[in-house]
Structure 1
Amino acid sequence: MKIKLLFTLACICAASNLFAQAQHSTEIGVQTDNDSYLLQGSDRYYTDGIYFYYRHALSTDGNDNLKNKILGFEFGQKIFNPQAGSVNIDGRDLSYLVDRPFAAYLYVGSTLNFLYSNESNLKLGAQLGIVGPDAFGKQVQDWVHSTFGFYHPSGWEYQIKNDPEINLSAEYNRLLARTTGVDISFSSYGNLGNGFTGAGLGFLLRLGNFNQLFNSVSTQSTASQGDKITPLHKHELFFYYKPLINYVAYDATIQGGLLETHHEAGSQEITLDKEPFIFSNQLGVDFTTNRFTFDIAAIVRTRDTKEMIRSTHQWGTITGMYRFK
C-alpha cells in the first residue's frame, strides 16, 4: 500500500512538473494605458488607451533558423486631449487652450512576428481604423469620467474629423550583447499609412532573469509551439529601460486626415503642427508565470506638437496576458 501511494505521489509530481514546463501556443490579453496611473493628477495629451490581443504560435518545422513565429490579432482605441480635458474659453484664447487636438483612433489589426535563432525578429503589421467622432473618443471619455466621478469633459466639438485609416508597420530588434543578468538589444520600427507615417530607433536594456528574444515578453513571443526552444529561465523577472528617437512624418490625430479638406466653412475642427522628432523613455518591469505574463511601465515623451504648452507628457501602461493550449 505504501509503495502504491509513493508511486502515485511520484506520478503526480512528475505530471505537475511536466505541466508546469509545457509550452503554450496561444495567449490572450489586454493592455491599458492612462496618465492617471502615474498619480500626478494629470489628464492631458495621450490620456487613455485600451487594447485587446490574441496571439497564436505557428509551426516552424523545416526552418532551423526560425525559432518561433506568431500570428496576432488586436483591437484598440487611443484617446487624446489638449492640456486639459475640459476646455472653458471664458474669454481666453482657444489656440492656447487646445495645444493638442481632441482626437480618438479606433482600429483592428493583425501582426506576424518572425523570431530567429540569432535573437533577431521582424514583426509585420497592418491596421484598419478611423480617426474622428466615429472612433467614439468622446463617448468613452464621458462614460469613464461619469462612472468614476471625475469632471465632465468638454471641447470635443473641436476634435479631428472622421478619416478612414490604412496603416502598415514593421518592427526589427536584434541582440547586441549579453552577460549574466544583463543584455542590450537594438530596437527599430517604421510606420507607413494615411494615418501614421514615421520611424524610430533606439535600444532595449534588460536587467534580471530574462529569456532569449525569440521566447520573451520583450518581443511578445512567450507563446510557442514544438520543442525548438529551451528558455534561459523557467520564469522571467526583469527590469528594462527603452529609449527611442522617433521621426514623425505624418500623424492624423494631430494634422487630421491626409486626404481630408480642413478648415472649410462651418468646421470647428482644430488641427496643429506635429513635431518632426520626438524622444521617448520607457522604464518598466516584466514578469511571467507558467500561464501569465505581465508588463508594467512608465513612458515619458517630449512634446507631440509645436504648440504644446508642456515640454513632456507621460503615462503608465499595464499589460496582462494568459497562455493556454
Structure 2
Amino acid sequence: MAYIFKFFRSWSAPDALFLNFLFKPIIGLSLFFCFLQVSLPAFAQYSADSVFVNQDKLFYFIFDNDATFKVDYYYTQGIGVIHFNPVFQKSIINKILLTSKNTGAEKFYGLAYKYDGFTPTNIRDPEIRIGDRPYASYMFLNQLAGSTHKIKKERITSSLDLGIIGPATGAGKFQRKIHEYLHHGIPQGWKYQIKTDLILNYNVLYQKGIVHTKPLEIIGEAGGSLGTLYTHATAGAMVRLGWMNSYFSDLGISNKTTRNQANLRKWQLYAFGRTQGRLVGYNATMQGGFLNANNVYTLEASQISRTVLESQTGLALIVKGLRLETAVNFISPEFTNSRRHKWMHFNVGFAF
C-alpha cells in the first residue's frame, strides 16, 4: 500500500489536476481490488446450494457535492464506485456476509470504493472552530453480497468496509487545490482534521416490497452498521413512481443476462423518494477513530444527535444498459447547534 501512495505522489502535472486528485485514488484502489480478488479465490469455496447467482456485470459511478446550493460545509463531497460481478462470489470474505439460502432467491456480489470529505461551516477560519464539525475524510474498500427473492419481493444486502480515516486520504490537499484552481476561498483548517485511524465496518440492509402496482412501488427498509467508522441502526421507506420495472427485478439496470428479460421494460423513467431514520451510536467523522486518540479536536459524545433523519428525492432514467440518476439529499442536524444540510447526488451506471 505504501508503494501505491508513493506512486500516486509521482503524478504531479498541474494541468492534470482533476485526474491527479480524483481519479488516482479510484484507479489505485481498483487495482488493489483486482489483486485481492485474484488472490482470494485460491482459498475460497464455491457455494453448493441451489440459489441462482445474478450474472449481470454492472458499473456505477457516484458523485455527491453541496456546491449546487452555494455551500461548502459538513458533508461537502463524496465519490463512490460500485461494480457488480458474479466473479466476486469466489472471495473468502463472503463467508461472513449474509445472503439467503432459500430456493428461489438470487444472489449477487460486488466490490466498491468510497471516499467522503467533511468540513466545518467556515473553511476560511484558520483557528479551531469549537462547537463546529471537525475536518474529516475517509476512504475504504467495500465488499458486498446479497440476495433477492423476486416473488417475495425482498432483498438482503450485507457488506464489509476496510479502509482509513485521516490525512492519508489526501482530502485536505485535494480541497485546497480545487479551491485554488477555482479561485474560491482556500481551506485553512485541515491541520486539525481527525487523525489517521482504521476503518472496519460491517453493514446490513433488509428491504421488503409493501406496495407494487404498475406506476407505484413502496419498499420498507431496516438495517444497521457496526464498526469503527459508523455504529447506528436505520429504518425507513422508499417510494418509486413512474414507468419502471420492479425494484427487485434487477440491480438497477436490466441487462441481457437478467432473468425474465422478456417481461421487463426496455426503458424506464421514474421519480423516487427515500427517507431513513437513524439511531446513532458512534460517528468517527465527529468523534474520532477507535485506535488513535491523538486528535486535536473532536466533538464530545454528549454533542452528537442520537436521532437523525435523512431523505432523498430524485429522478432516474434507464435506457437499455445505461442508467442516469440525480437526486437532492437532505439531513437533519447531526450535532448540537448544527444546521440542516443538503447536497446533490449523481449516479451514472452501465452494463457491459
Deviations 1:22-46 (A, max 9, x none): x97212231000001xx32100100
Distance 1:224 1:194 in 2: 39
Residue in structure 2 matched with residue 127 of structure 1 by the alignment: 161
Task: Answer whether contact 2:198 2:291 (CA < 8 A) is retained.
Answer: no
Unaligned runs of at least 5 residues, structure 2: 1-53, 90-100
Is residue 322 of structure 1 aligned with residue 350 of structure 2? yes
Distance 2:116 2:71 in 1: 17
SS in 2 for 1:71: strand
Residue in structure 2 matched with residue 115 of structure 1 by the alignment: 148
| 1:198-213 superposed matches below 5 A | 198-213=232-247
Bigger share in strand: 1
Q: CA deviation at 1:88?
A: 3.9
Residue in structure 2 matched with residue 44 of structure 1 by the alignment: 73
| 1:65-214 superposed matches below 5 A | 65-66=104-105, 68-89=106-127, 94-96=129-131, 99-117=132-150, 118-214=152-248
Among 27, 38, 59, which residue is 2:58 paired with? Answer: 27
Deviations 1:139-194 (A, max 9, x none): 22112222333221111111111111100101111100122301211012210111
Task: Answer whether contact 1:86 1:154 (CA < 8 A) is retained.
Answer: yes
Is residue 251 of structure 1 aligned with residue 286 of structure 2? no
Unaligned runs of at least 5 residues, structure 1: 1-22
Task: Answer whether contact 1:214 1:221 (CA < 8 A) is retained.
Answer: no
Identity over aligned pairs, percent: 24
Distance 1:177 1:276 in 2: 30
Task: Answer whether contact 1:123 1:170 (CA < 8 A) is retained.
Answer: yes
Residue in structure 2 matched with residue 18 of structure 1 by the alignment: none
Deviations 1:94-135 (A, max 9, x none): 315xx1110001111111121112111001101101111112
SS in 2 for 1:236: strand
Residue in structure 2 matched with residue 12 of structure 1 by the alignment: none
Residue in structure 2 matched with residue 242 of structure 1 by the alignment: 274
Deviations 1:249-308 (A, max 9, x none): 11110100123324xxxx633334321110111101111111211221101100111242
Residues 205 and 317 (structure 1), Cα distance of their counterparts in 2 relative to 1, 3 Å cut: same
Residues 30 and 176 (structure 1), Cα distance of their counterparts in 2 relative to 1, 3 Å cut: same
SS in 2 for 1:95: coil
Residue in structure 2 matched with residue 55 of structure 1 by the alignment: 84
Task: Answer whether contact 1:215 1:221 (CA < 8 A) is retained.
Answer: no
TM-score by length of 1: 0.81
**Larger RCO (CA under 8 A, 6+ residues apart):** 1
Give aligned pairs, total: 285
Distance 2:333 2:326 in 1: 23
Residues 143 and 42 (structure 1), Cα distance of their counterparts in 2 relative to 1, 3 Å cut: same
Higher-Rg member (1/2): 1
Aligned residue type for 1:290: K
SS in 1 for 2:180: helix
Residues 224 and 147 (structure 1), Cα distance of their counterparts in 2 relative to 1, 3 Å cut: farther
Distance 1:187 1:295 in 2: 20
Residue in structure 1 matched with residue 39 of structure 2 by the alignment: none
Q: CA deviation at 1:236?
A: 1.8
SS in 2 for 1:146: helix
Distance 1:223 1:110 in 2: 22
Aligned residue type for 2:275: P
Task: Answer whether contact 1:80 1:104 (CA < 8 A) is retained.
Answer: yes
